[in-house]
Amino acid sequence: MISTVLRRSVLTTSRRSQTLSASLTSINAALFHHLAPASDLAANVQPIAPLPQTSNPFGIKARDFHFQSVPSEFRASVASSAGFAAQDYAEESSDGGDSESVASGSDGLAISELGISPEIVKALSGRGIDKLFPIQKAVLEPAMQGRDMIGRARTGTGKTLAFGIPVIDKIIKFNAKHGRGKNPLCLVLAPTRELARQVEKEFRESAPSLDTICLYGGTPIGQQMRELNYGVDVAVGTPGRIIDLMKRGALNLSEVQFIVLDEADQMLQVGFAEDVEVILQKLPEKRQSMMFSATMPSWIRSLTKKYLNNPLTIDLVGDSDQKLADGITMYSISADSYGKASIIGPLVEAHGKGGKCIVFTQTKRDADRLSYGLAKSFKCEALHGDISQSQRERTLAGFRDGNFNILVATDVAARGLDVPNVDLVIHYELPNNTETFVHRTGRTGRAGKKGNAILIHGPEQSRAVKMIEREVGSKFTELPSIPVERGSGSMFEGIGGGRSGGSYGGGMRDRSSSYGGRSGGYGGGGGGSGRYGGDRSESRYSGGSDRSSGYGGGFGSGGSNNRSSGGFGGFGSDRSSQSGGSGRSSFGGFGLKDPNRSSY
Ligand SMILES: Nc1ncnc2c1ncn2[C@@H]1O[C@H](COP(=O)(O)OP(=O)(O)OP(=O)(O)O)[C@@H](O)[C@H]1O
């Protein structure tokens, strides 16, 4: 903490004496120059109206800087300075940029030649990021102009930096010109803790001089309050903890100039809709709002109408058939519920190239069981919402660092998580809908890399498999089935928990799959009270006459352990995540009618 304060002190003092260089003027011209021939992008980007070049369109005065030598109140704040960063850009770009100095390569825009802060260029270059990805190209200019926008692009294509680069560039330049304040200028909302941490890390690593903070539950609030008191430039967090900090008076959003909603549609699914609106209502009116959302349910549309100002839509997916990133190869394999646990090992060995692999299960219980079985032969860990926050962080860090190479996870890990070099994703069961399939699969083949995805399906689920093919616009290559010996010797023997004796097998009820078919889960035990059997409506793949519950009616465990996460069974959302039981389920809305039945 002391070193942070000292660093901030030095930075602040030097920044006060800095004059803003006029070096950012070429971005507009550069992007225009490069976007024009990029028909794939230009076709999807609406024309951008020029910003009015008034001297101060927001009619508010620049904040003064008040330096104090004591740590608390380190930053001074003057409320209502929103809008200046956008204005700075508009003013400076009108000084006339040097469009000739722009790189002319067509395979990406050289970041060093865009006129963005050298600090960012250097930091990105140190991470091997030298050229903009398409979504970043498409977003940069309108974002620099201060436009509100809604963005959409395939998984792993760099959406975080698409909004991150313009925002941090504007903040760095704004601070240099106006001095540093105490309250955040940018707020990023994310639906899960892990995603929030990842986004905050991306900001931090791209602009080391900025102070960033990640605000999420499951961690001591006192430390976050102290850090906020020292002053921050960028706050990233989950809505629950952000509201908590606002209520305690520790988080002041009155100077926010940039609000970003990442994975906005998932906010709805995890039960954050109301909280998001509460936060949006607390923000200054003069601000820039950006929203990234894979889908546009009616809540998002109404949010857009209510809180965004004439937003530009940048959609690099559009109606294109192909919903997955290039470089992902899809395989499918048939296995009955008895045998599928046993084929994971051979699949990993044949298709995982010795690299990292994520196996997605529908329930926490399955994640535990499968990982327990696999751990007898592989380095493997489970990740789901019943695991404590600190353990989840250790698990993810261990996976990132390569301490183990198979992660068995529920859909908590489906969205947004960026773990480099995941070579293989295995869908242990058909996911609830295509959207989930796309996000799960998107944990591989990121940042232009190649990856494989294998979908395990029951012998009677071929219709559902075809439907996924149609909706994601890619074909599966069906792998030959792997013979599994029933009976003794399976490493999964005895973890089925059922009374049928089968590892993951016998005794299951049928009508369970979310994608229909009669394959059922592997819920040994069969009957029970059918805790997971209730929901029969949400799945879009419930072929035929099957009742097809969202998360499978067939688990039939009759036990209560799967309900334990309660409230936020979900990965990382904030509200009452540790409390279990009574809270609203953060992930309940996703194919589950009973929020307490979250499978995350
Ligand atoms: N211009 C770039 N050049 C090289 N790598 C990049 C570039 N931009 C982003 N990356 C890297 O690509 C990876 C994926 O980026 P990111 O997580 O932002 O993708 P995303 O589109 O948000 O994915 P998802 O939809 O799954 O959340 C990250 O590791 C990021 O550091």
> Is the distance from the beta carbon of residue 161 to the nearest atom of ligand 1 less than 6 Å?
yes
> Is the distance from the beta carbon of residue 418 to the nearest atom of ligand 1 less than 6 Å?
yes
| 194-213 average pLDDT score | 95
Residue 324 C-alpha to ligand 1 middle, in angstroms?
14
Q: Are 115 and 93 in contact (CB under 8 A)?
A: no
DSSP assignments along 319-351, one per residue: T-S--SPTTEEEEEEE--TTTHHHHHHHHHHHH
d(CA 361, CA 411): 7
Q: Is the pLDDT of residue 379 over 70?
A: yes
Closest atom of ligand 1 to CA, residue 447: 12
> Is the distance from the beta carbon of residue 133 to the nearest atom of ligand 1 less than 6 Å?
yes
Q: Which residues pair with 215 in a beta bridge?
A: 237
Burial of residue 112 (number of CB atoms within 10 Å: 0-12, 13-18, 19+): middle
Domain ranges of the chain: 118-316, 328-483
State which of 120, 125, 129, 202 you would mutate to test the pocket of ligand 1, scoring each by most atoms of that ligand within 8 A of its C-beta. 129
Tokens standing for residue 71: 């740590």
> Is the distance from the beta carbon of residue 155 to the nearest atom of ligand 1 less than 6 Å?
yes
> Is the distance from the beta carbon of residue 160 to the nearest atom of ligand 1 less than 6 Å?
yes
Residue 573 C-alpha to ligand 1 middle, in angstroms?
22
- Three-point CA angle 530, 531, 535, nearest 5°: 90
Residue 158 C-alpha to ligand 1 middle, in angstroms?
3
Residue 360 C-alpha to ligand 1 middle, in angstroms?
21
d(CA 589, CA 597): 10
> Is the distance from the beta carbon of residue 447 to the nearest atom of ligand 1 less than 6 Å?
yes
Name which residue leads in pLDDT, 366 or 580: 366
State which of 159, 203, 293 you would mutate to test the pocket of ligand 1, scoring each by most atoms of that ligand within 8 A of its C-beta. 159
Residue 356 C-alpha to ligand 1 middle, in angstroms?
18
Nearest CA residue ID for atom 1, ligand 1: 132
> Is the distance from the beta carbon of residue 573 to the nearest atom of ligand 1 less than 6 Å?
no
> Is the distance from the beta carbon of residue 156 to the nearest atom of ligand 1 less than 6 Å?
yes
- Three-point CA angle 147, 245, 273, nearest 5°: 55
Residue 568 C-alpha to ligand 1 middle, in angstroms?
27
* Domain 328-483, second-level architecture: 3-Layer(aba) Sandwich (3.40)
Identify residue 433 by its one-letter amino acid code: N
> Is the distance from the beta carbon of residue 442 to the nearest atom of ligand 1 less than 6 Å?
yes
According to the model, what pLDDT value does residue 568 have? Answer: 27
Nearest CA residue ID for atom 15, ligand 1: 158
d(CA 457, CA 464): 9
According to the model, what pLDDT value does residue 486 have? Answer: 63
According to the model, what pLDDT value does residue 430 have? Answer: 93
| Length of the chain measured in residues | 600
Residue 314 C-alpha to ligand 1 middle, in angstroms?
17
According to the model, what pLDDT value does residue 196 have? Answer: 94
Q: List the one residue out of 526, 547, 527 whose CA is nearest residue 538.
A: 547
According to the model, what pLDDT value does residue 12 have? Answer: 43
The average confidence (pLDDT) of the chain is: 71
| 190-208 average pLDDT score | 93
| 548-557 average pLDDT score | 28
Q: Is the pLDDT of residue 433 over 50?
A: yes
d(CA 409, CA 364): 8
CATH number of 118-316: 3.40.50.300
Residue 417 C-alpha to ligand 1 middle, in angstroms?
10
Closest atom of ligand 1 to CA, residue 439: 26
**Domains 118-316 and 328-483 in one fold:** yes
Q: What is the pLDDT of residues 31-58, one digit of tens each?
A: 444 433 333 333 344 433 333 333 333 3
* ipTM rounded to 2 decimals: 0.98
Nearest CA residue ID for atom 10, ligand 1: 158
According to the model, what pLDDT value does residue 107 have? Answer: 55
> Is the distance from the beta carbon of residue 129 to the nearest atom of ligand 1 less than 6 Å?
yes
Nearest CA residue ID for atom 23, ligand 1: 156
For residues 463-474, one letter each, b for 16 or more C-beta atoms within 10 angstroms of the residue's C-beta and e for the rest, the string is: ebbebbbebbeb
Q: Is the pLDDT of residue 425 over 80?
A: yes
> Is the distance from the beta carbon of residue 416 to the nearest atom of ligand 1 less than 6 Å?
yes
Closest atom of ligand 1 to CA, residue 263: 27
Q: What is the pLDDT of residues 86-125, one digit of tens each?
A: 344 434 443 333 322 222 234 567 999 999 999 999 999 9
Burial of residue 37 (number of CB atoms within 10 Å: 0-12, 13-18, 19+): exposed
Q: How far is CA 460 from CA 430, 500, 549, in A?
A: 12, 22, 16
- What does DSSP say about strands 451-457 and 406-409: parallel, antiparallel, or unpaired? unpaired
Q: Is the pLDDT of residue 2 over 90?
A: no
